[in-house]
Structure 1
Amino acid sequence: MALTKVEAAKLTNDMLLRGVIETIVMESSVLTLLPFMNVTGTALTYNREKTMPAAQFYDVGDTWQEATPEFTQVTVALKILGGDADVDNFLQQTYADPNDLEAIVIESRAKAVAHLFSDTFFNGDSTANPKAFDGLATLVPASQTLEPGPDGGALTLDLMDELIDLVRPGRPDALLMHKRTRRKLSQLRRTSGNLLETDVDAFGRRALFYDGIPIIVDDFIPIDETLGAGSNLSSIYAVKFGPSGVMGIENGGIQIEAIGELETKDASRHRIKWYAGLALFSELGVARLRGIEGA
């Protein structure tokens, strides 16, 4: 069963672990929507959908033509993500509320884990860093990538609609972009006489929608990309989550391990670890509009 981290937090009775999961989800915008599949072993091997089988109309008595989808076998390895949180024993003993100090230190480390996951979700490249998993910039194929021009260009509503139409069947679950791009999109909609729709997300925060599709703003989407002679460019990703698009993989979920007292310093240690990765199950479930200018 695939669960988002929002739902996983509700199922644990460990209040410390629940707090860590909620902190990570709050700090990583993509984790509010990204479902995770628990896998056995160190990697997941699966068939990635490349093309859908064609259908056609027939007359009575016609010979029917067989059509099959195309798949590519892919293996995605789990990566080890995490960090240690050390609580100084002197501060722990003299602090007004020892539990608060421990929670503050662990929360700080949980935020760092969330930021690293978000950064890797978009920008991960296992060729450049074998310890990391591949992100969307690496996973989205050229056939699902749009460009305003060879050197980049301005965002337009026509490009937005073309990006959405690249994801099929159906529509994307979310549009992921930097806040700079969100501002430009809002300006375009105002100029056309329409505003972006608003609603609330799973945490009660105000959220924006483009034609009914949630807009997820994430600062880890770069605004310094290059394309041809263009620079300081950015991208928008249209994504379906789950087995028809992008899904996280993990073994054991987010874990907190009490390491205990340290030998080399007067402190106790907790380790936050997560054996996780990212799988693209269908190339048709994602699309990228790259080369968007800032102005």
Structure 2
Amino acid sequence: MSDKDLTMSLADSLKLTQDTLQAGVIEILGEESKLLANLPFRFVEGSGITYTVQKTQAKPQYRTVGEAYKPSEIEYENRTESLAILGDEAIVDTYQNQIVADYNDLMAIEVALKTKALAHAYQKAFLYGNTEEDIKAFNGLNKRLIKNQMFQSSGIVADDLDILADAVRGANFAIMSKSKRRKLTNENRSLITKSTNEFGVQVTQYGEMVICDLDDEIFEDGDENSIYVMRLSDVDGVCGLQNGGINVTPLGHMTGSPKLKTRIEWFTGMAVYDDRAIAKITETKE
């Protein structure tokens, strides 16, 4: 299997890496973000990927004896996704390095803070990324949603999830705010189960659907009451993209500055292989 055919979760990457720094960053990403912990990532060769999305269904026909079929046409659309460069640098002053007993602990703290911020940045782009507004990022869910996959809330969270699950074939993942998740739990405790994922984080499930509850401030104004439901899959759903995984590079002393630097960088993006793999429900503004 070539790298371009390879898809792995963060947990898979963590098991395979032999780089201690990279392993630490992957573990922080998985602990900090339920989205990143669940999202499959397809490895991409080069700077992007082109794939085909089916837009219309075939139309089988009835025929009489001896009659020939007129083959129906299926409409396809070619799409290209470019990888974005997401990263930051952890910096420790040489004075701190001198007075602190363990430099590695100090740099580890800085790397952890930068990694958590990186996870939040990916989540934000996953929802709201728009290359027309920021050419350096990638297009997120709201940019990709089609009209037929957008609904108005019924006012009952469980009913809204059912509406969205019906709209998404093989729905297995939902994103909502923590305040919305609390409402779901309070109203439907008998339908909620809890488990622990591979990163030791408690996960809420509604049926077979994993609930990814994000901090309310991640959502844009007015969108914190929305719910997104999707199918995570590298075949017919929503999938992350990356080239080479997370890069963690100790750069040592900065030229012309009394500081030490470690760079965290990720060539990443996302793809949606079926327009019906995502749906969103919003509350009507009064």
- Structure 1 residue 221: deviation in Å? 5.0
- Structure 1 residue 4: deviation in Å? 0.9
Pick from 271, 274, 277: which aligns with 2:269? 277
- Stretches of 4+ aligned residues off by more than 6 angstroms: none
| Matching residue's letter, 1:239 | M
Match of 1:173 in 2: 172
- Structure 1 residue 38: deviation in Å? 1.4
2: CA distance, partners of 1:187 / 1:90:
51
- 1:67-112 CA-partner distances (Å, limit 9, x unpaired): 4543221111111100111121221122122221121111111111
Match of 1:18 in 2: 23
Pick from 163, 168, 193: which aligns with 1:197? 193
- Structure 1 residue 64: deviation in Å? 5.2
- Structure 1 residue 158: deviation in Å? 3.2
1:66–1:185 CA distance, 2 compared to 1 (3 A): farther
- Structure 1 residue 156: deviation in Å? 4.7
Verify: 1:138 aligned to 2:129, yes or no: no
> 1:223–1:234: 8 Å Cα contact kept in structure 2?
no
> 1:47–1:71: 8 Å Cα contact kept in structure 2?
yes
The residue matched to 1:159 in structure 2 has which SS?
A: helix
Match of 1:164 in 2: 165
> 2:81–2:271: 8 Å Cα contact kept in structure 1?
yes
The residue matched to 1:114 in structure 2 has which SS?
A: helix
Aligned-residue CA RMSD (Å): 2.4
2: CA distance, partners of 1:292 / 1:209:
26
> 2:8–2:42: 8 Å Cα contact kept in structure 1?
yes
- 1:129-171 CA-partner distances (Å, limit 9, x unpaired): 11111111111211111113xxxx6235333212101012xx2
1: CA distance, partners of 2:207 / 2:262:
45
> 1:256–1:273: 8 Å Cα contact kept in structure 2?
yes
Match of 1:188 in 2: 187
Aligned 1:1-295 pairs, distance under 5 A: 1-54=6-59, 61=65, 66-148=71-153, 154-168=155-169, 171-189=170-188, 194-219=190-215, 221-222=218-219, 224-225=221-222, 234-242=225-233, 243-291=235-283
Structure 2 residues without counterparts, runs of 5 or longer = 1-5
Deviates more, 1:16-25 or 1:181-190: 181-190
2: CA distance, partners of 1:292 / 1:200:
34
1: CA distance, partners of 2:238 / 2:15:
23
> 1:173–1:239: 8 Å Cα contact kept in structure 2?
yes
> 2:31–2:201: 8 Å Cα contact kept in structure 1?
no
2: CA distance, partners of 1:30 / 1:233:
16
> 1:85–1:109: 8 Å Cα contact kept in structure 2?
yes
1:195–1:43 CA distance, 2 compared to 1 (3 A): closer
Which structure is higher in helix share?
2
- 1:10-32 CA-partner distances (Å, limit 9, x unpaired): 11111111001111221122111
Structure 1 residues without counterparts, runs of 5 or longer = 226-231
| Matching residue's letter, 1:129 | D
> 1:154–1:292: 8 Å Cα contact kept in structure 2?
no
